[in-house]
Structure 1
């Protein structure tokens, strides 16, 4: 039995964000959700790049099907009524029926992997042309359907679900730090929902090498329902609630209730949802319209020159299609004067960066309290009661930077003129440089803790994050090595503080 997709889709900014950095795409053969990240560093552009590559690949499939139809017509293939040649297809850009896709599941996976690789390469080129885009990235959940089998490519923490016979199954596995802790049995699902590092992604499409997606295939059957969504939905709504809302008989009603539930949970992120039903295909079925959602429907992607390779391949070596590494500062050709440059982001656009903060900033009440306590302490010092005030201050601890390492401080992160109200209590071996850049910034701004034990737990978590980042950067460095040594011009030396090819991006990932 041949099946077809019938889908509804929606993308919105949510209740808190100022712009929509999500993108989506739905056609009779492809379903895709991409959640851009990076805030001021153009997460919307990154997700739009991914969807642009999807559109190009889908158009090539339609053109190939159109060519096959024309060839069959030229060979005198009978028409649908058996009376003569079938009429030529007028336009190659019309959506093709799912049954006309002749690729086998492994070939569909190759198509999806190629889409992800080209999107990653294009992001690297944009960052090389405009360094202000450094740190942008996107998740990708991409499905391709041939009438029987579904191919799926996944990278990041957007999710794909299958609802079959009333049972909801997650088809993807989050590439996040918190998910790795769940896998190791170190935290529960309930703890994960409130973990301070729940938005740290271990894999994301950001122009760096070695960002291969998870690939899988699934046999579909009549009555199946698919859900693709960004974490503006699945990051706020539990799976059991998702399953009950998705089970509504009318997909449009299910979509509306899922959006309402995301709003009820705060609507703190962009929300993108695609729901697709698997129906029996008929000859007279009307194909659904192609839909382009979110940032991909509004942004123009700048044209840039391809990134030059770091080292030439040997003459007998074939290009393996690997994404080029982002060049070091000063390497490669500078962007031309005609290359569009993204304007400086407004403060509102930087709200996305809060998604990757180590923890939420202190509440207004706590800031007021800390200021009041500092004032009281000053008065006590001036009034001769310094001993008691300092004794209270010694019960307070926070995490901060001690030169290039992490340290636990005793006291308050304030001073009275030349008098510091704190002292270094413990210096830890974890280096700031081994953390993602946004984590480094949080440590330098200091992290409030409730006690010495709490401060040590925070340091332990930071150490685990740094170890994971070190491992990933070492893997990237190994993959950046050329296939074999070849003579090449010696590059100009760069200052010691130039970023290394494995430097962490600014989006909170490693």
Structure 2
């Protein structure tokens, strides 16, 4: 049996949101993060309703299997309460929430997960992500369509495929049981942290030998330093570390720590047409912040949209590459044409030669060629002229090159006459 560990729950509204739609809980055995969605007046209600129901599962269980079953039952009940709330308050239609929860039972941990909040485990200095996001981009990653790095900036990265809310009476919840050891540090967080702070930074922060609350506050600060576009909630549970005196008291943070408030009073349910509770009237629906249904047709549509986007990216890259290639070829042709407008006078083995081009090579390619062998022997040139020719004499045009040759020829003739 492990000792009760240190724990902490911290939540921050972030730098962009006007209200906190996250809820967090650190109890005696149970630890929960819920990230609500559904607009200004829906997300906070959803996470609060779900958390208040789920924390009833904070109990001492005889086995991790019992805790796992209790967690799943509590989450399904929370889902039903959300549907009831929407039926009685239609203005909340479309609200939903993620849920990540763990229950410590002896040397084991029972885990429940739905949505894109995450559970991490730091063991022996190495961080592991325990849960898998129920998101559209995660499916693309799993299928090999995109990389983890591409998923971080994908335009559909916030689309959830599974969530608690008024859209599914029997949502699929991931549950598992894992062994745990003294020294393990468990962290639950909303995507306000994991979507801003990278895994290496999270690992380095969690690895510090500091109390859970200090570590949690540092993680929230890193999210704020990164811009914190969403609410940030962190819950930490340390295994095998003695608690402080007040750590045994359960802590609730975020929207669940405040009384629930609804925009208006809607007519109470009469009991007629109970099946309508999952499809409440939506005269004035509040836009969902990042949930869309996980139907096969919808998923196929998203995948096809992503494929179209990938094709557009490839086409743009291809057109850009071709344009760049053409520009390089054009520049090379223009550059070569310019070199061929230049001339210089130099020496062949024994005679003076007019060359077209410039005295430069590009790899195995020469930018000059022999234009005309003048037939003037190098041996008849004066020492000065011969040195000049061997070092080459540049000419801006063929006419200028011919003038240089004419001067050399005249000098040679005079020397012959004088001789």
Taking structure 2 as the reference length, the TM-score comes to: 0.64
**1:43 aligned residue:** 43
Structure 2 matches for 1:464-475, cutoff 5 A? none
Alpha-carbon deviation of 1:130? 1.8
Output the CA distance in 2 between the equivalents of 1:193 and 1:238: 10
Alpha-carbon deviation of 1:195? 0.5
Q: Is 2:213 the counterpart of 1:252?
A: yes
Report the 3-state secondary structure (helix = DSSP H, G, I; strand = E; otherwise coil) of the residue aligned with 1:154. strand
Output the CA distance in 1 between the equivalents of 2:219 and 2:270: 41
Deviations 1:397-454 (A, max 9, x none): xxxxxxxxxxxxxxxxxxxxxxxxxxxxxxxxxxxxx659xx9xxx9xxxxx999936
**2:156 aligned residue:** 197
* Alignment CA distance shift 1:39-1:456 (3 Å): farther
Alpha-carbon deviation of 1:107? 0.8
Alpha-carbon deviation of 1:209? 2.2
**2:238 aligned residue:** 277
**1:268 aligned residue:** 229
Q: Is 2:108 the counterpart of 1:134?
A: no
Retained in 1: the 8 A contact 2:119–2:130? Answer: yes
Retained in 2: the 8 A contact 1:3–1:280? Answer: yes
- The structure that has the greater radius of gyration is 2
Q: Give 2:181's match in structure 1, choosing from 218, 221, 231.
A: 221
| Displacement over 4 Å in runs of 4+ | 284-287, 301-311, 327-330, 449-452, 454-457
Retained in 2: the 8 A contact 1:162–1:170? Answer: yes
Deviations 1:196-227 (A, max 9, x none): 10000000001322312100111111100011
* Alignment CA distance shift 1:121-1:222 (3 Å): same
* Alignment CA distance shift 1:451-1:240 (3 Å): closer
Q: Is 2:278 the counterpart of 1:326?
A: yes
Retained in 2: the 8 A contact 1:310–1:327? Answer: no
* Alignment CA distance shift 1:307-1:211 (3 Å): farther
Retained in 1: the 8 A contact 2:61–2:67? Answer: no
**1:52 aligned residue:** 52
Output the CA distance in 1 between the equivalents of 2:261 and 2:35: 16
Q: Is 2:119 the counterpart of 1:160?
A: yes
Deviations 1:471-496 (A, max 9, x none): xxxxxxxxxxxxxxxxxxxxxxxxxx
Retained in 2: the 8 A contact 1:4–1:147? Answer: no
Output the CA distance in 1 between the equivalents of 2:27 and 2:239: 13
Taking structure 1 as the reference length, the TM-score comes to: 0.53
**2:103 aligned residue:** 144
**1:236 aligned residue:** 196
Output the CA distance in 2 between the equivalents of 1:103 and 1:308: 41
Retained in 2: the 8 A contact 1:48–1:301? Answer: no
Alpha-carbon deviation of 1:21? 0.3
Alpha-carbon deviation of 1:305? 5.0
Output the CA distance in 2 between the equivalents of 1:450 and 1:23: 35
Report the 3-state secondary structure (helix = DSSP H, G, I; strand = E; otherwise coil) of the residue aligned with 1:216. strand
Alpha-carbon deviation of 1:5? 2.5
Q: Is 2:300 the counterpart of 1:300?
A: no
Retained in 1: the 8 A contact 2:87–2:277? Answer: no
**2:312 aligned residue:** 453
* Alignment CA distance shift 1:109-1:450 (3 Å): closer
* Alignment CA distance shift 1:163-1:452 (3 Å): closer
Alpha-carbon deviation of 1:131? 1.6
* Alignment CA distance shift 1:171-1:219 (3 Å): same
Output the CA distance in 2 between the equivalents of 1:171 and 1:450: 31
Equivalenced residues, count: 301
Deviations 1:54-95 (A, max 9, x none): 23333xx4xxxxxxxxxxxxxxxxxxxxxxxxxxxxxxxxxx
Alpha-carbon RMSD across the aligned residues, in angstroms, is 3.5
**1:93 aligned residue:** none
Output the CA distance in 1 between the equivalents of 2:17 and 2:177: 35
Alpha-carbon deviation of 1:328? 6.4
Output the CA distance in 1 between the equivalents of 2:61 and 2:254: 30
Output the CA distance in 2 between the equivalents of 1:217 and 1:205: 21
* Alignment CA distance shift 1:160-1:309 (3 Å): farther
Retained in 2: the 8 A contact 1:5–1:29? Answer: no
Larger mean Cα displacement after TM superposition, 33-42 or 301-310: 301-310
Structure 2 matches for 1:1-20, cutoff 5 A? 1-20=1-20
* Structure 1: gaps of 5 or more residues: 62-100, 312-323, 331-343, 358-433, 444-448, 458-510
Alpha-carbon deviation of 1:103? 2.3
Alpha-carbon deviation of 1:285? 7.5
Structure 2 matches for 1:370-409, cutoff 5 A? none
Output the CA distance in 2 between the equivalents of 1:356 and 1:296: 21
